[in-house]
Amino acid sequence: MNSNKVAWICLVISVIVLISLITINFVLYAGVVSLGTYFPFIIIMQVLFYKIRNYTIGLLILNTTIILTFLVVYLSIFPSFDYEEGKNLIEKEVGQDNLNFLEVDYKTVPTTDNNQFLYRNLNYYYKIAHLSSEQFFSVDPITGKVFKLNRPFY
Give 105-151 pLDDT, tens digit per residue.
999 999 887 667 778 889 999 999 977 889 999 999 999 999 999 99
- Residues 6 or more apart from 91 whose CB is under 8 A from it? 97, 98, 99
Q: Determine which of 38-42, 52-56, 74-78 has the lowest per-residue pLDDT on average.
A: 52-56
Confirm whether pTM is higher than 0.85. Answer: no
- If asked whether residues 118 and 65 sit together in one domain, one would say no
Of 76, 110, 128, the residue at which a domain comes to its end is: 76
Query: What is the Cα Rg of the chain in Å?
Result: 20
> Measuring CA to CA, which residue among 106, 151, 145 is closest to residue 133?
151
Last residue of a domain, one of 48, 76, 104: 76
Distance CA(126)–CA(36), nearest Å, equals 26
- Is residue 139 located within the same domain as residue 96? yes
pLDDT band at 52 (very low <50, low <70, confident <90, very high): low
pLDDT in tens, 23-50: 988 999 999 988 777 777 777 777 766 6
44 and 94 in a single domain? The answer is no
**pLDDT score at 71:** 78
113 and 63 housed in the same domain: no
The residue out of 51, 76, 101 marking a domain boundary is 76
Domain containing 33 equals 3-76
Residue 154 in domain: no
